[in-house]
Amino acid sequence: MDSCERTFLALEHQPGDRIPIDVWLSKAMIQKITTTLGVTHEQFLDAYDVDLRYISGPEYIGPPLEKDTDIWGVKRRTIRVPVQNGTESYSEVAESPLAWAQSVADVEEYPRWPSPDWFDYGVVEAQCDAIRERGRVVVFMGDRLNRVAQLKPAMYLRGDANIFIDLAMNEEVAQAIFREIREFYLVYIERIMEAARGKIDVVLTGDDFGGQNGLLMSPDMWRRFLKPGFAEYVRCIKQYGVRVMHHTCGSVFEIIPDLIAAGLDVLQSCQPEAAQMGLAYLKTRFGDRLCFHGGLSIQQTMPFGTPRAIRDEVSRIADLFRGSGGYIFCTAHNIQADTPIANVQALLSAYHACGGAQVGG
């Protein structure tokens, strides 16, 4: 059974020869692995028969971007954090260019709205072919600064506090910002899908709706401002026969029925430390209607656990899904470079040891 066969069985809530595997690593963790083990990233994934692989997507060919500025015109600064045997780097917002906006006209007249014409989509099909030739599942996700979303780009552009104030007190401005973002992404998605010629299997959208203890806004506010756009994205992708996975950090339990109603296939990241987001609970409540991806702790188990503790957690997860499908092995987010390589190897070995159809935990 190849990666596509077992993954699509899982997405149909059917067991395959084993639970499918995905691996999320930070850039610093990838560098740590490749330097220490003397292998490429792809060779490392192949050594553990990882099923899902990610294309980089269209190439930016638009107007030259100012230094430390993203496609939205948001100025950023790089923050470097020393960790054991390496340095993690993060891109933080330094200046939100729509923080000053007072009206819908201010939003609409903003000169830096990106255009779908700024990208070369001709590279997409070859990226898909390179993965399909190896029997792997093709996933498009985009990068962290250009991922199909609504709230996160709005937070970058408007500023975190301002966009949430808008939701409560300046609805027209908030809706105008979301509208501009959606109009860009709906065309961007369509062009990617057309360029791929049916060779993308999964599109992963990404928008953080939750914090550790609950949603970042009330469920009713999410439904009013974000659910329509979320559903539009899902419809746009699924008209091409492509599965939709959505990444959100935090606790989003209260809106999972809405995500399902919008047509979502797979929820990622199922952060175990977040309220009501444990995989056992989610499977009991929603497992007949939704698949899950992730759920293994990068806050505790991966950096601080022993290989035995990692195997035990993988075994508990495997026991939930081994006979029923509906799940893809992965951590809750990118494994950071403070995690020992031995723990990453223990994790991937445990996926195989515990995830087989006839294997006990």
Over the stretch 216-244, which tens digit does the pLDDT of each residue have? 999 999 999 999 999 999 999 999 999 99
Q: b/e for 164-184, b at 16 or more Cβ within 10 A?
A: bebbeebeebbbbbbebbbeb
The predicted structure's pLDDT at residue 361: 34
**Which residues, in sequence order, are bridge partners of residue 138?**
53
Parts of the chain with a pLDDT under 50 = 358-361
Place of tokens 């390179």: 130
pLDDT digit string (tens) for 81-130? 988 767 899 999 999 999 999 999 999 999 999 999 999 999 999 999 99
Task: Compute the C-alpha angle 18/54/323, nearest 5°.
Answer: 15
DSSP 13: T
CA distance 55 to 28: 19
The predicted structure's pLDDT at residue 360: 39
**CB-hemisphere CA count at 13 Å for 117?**
2
What are the structural domains, with CATH classification, of the chain? 3-66+114-145+185-355 (3.20.20.210)
Extract the tokens encoding 219: 């469920």
Concatenating the DSSP letter of every residue in 249-304 gives -S--GGGHHHHHHTT--EEEE--TTSTT--HHHHHHHHTTT-EEEE-B-TTTHHHH
CA distance 357 to 40: 30
The predicted structure's pLDDT at residue 275: 97
Say which residues have a Cβ less than 8 Å from residue 85's Cβ, sequence separation at least 6: 32, 337
The predicted structure's pLDDT at residue 85: 67
CA distance 288 to 291: 8
pTM of the predicted model, to two decimals? 0.97
